[in-house]
Amino acid sequence: MTRTLAVAFAVVIAAPSFAGSHEIPQDTVDKITAMLAEMKCQMDPDDIKTEDGGYELDDVICEGGHQFDIELDADLNEVGRRAE
């Protein structure tokens, strides 16, 4: 039981550091959303993920109903696109 409590305590203490590690700053989300609007696309901001120093945009829906996954580098330049 002591071991279980120690593990549970360690998880609770570490949780805040894990929670913030994948959050994307709101100004970055706003820039991505504006960029997509210019492309006549939209997506749920919760589907923006960090990946390899850049961002992966899952389930981007563009004019005409086309759906893509888009990869951006750290400077928000498009470096990849896959149709879904």
Element spanning 49, H or E:
strand 48-51
Element spanning 60, H or E:
strand 54-62
Whether 8 has a pLDDT exceeding 90, the answer reads no
Average pLDDT for 22-39: 94
Whether 47 has a pLDDT exceeding 50, the answer reads yes
pTM (two decimals): 0.71
CB 71 within 8 A of CB 79: yes
Query: How does DSSP classify residue 74?
Result: T
* Rg of the chain in Å (alpha carbons): 17
Measured between alpha carbons, how far is residue 56 from residues 4, 42, 50, 70, 71 in Å? 37, 14, 6, 6, 5
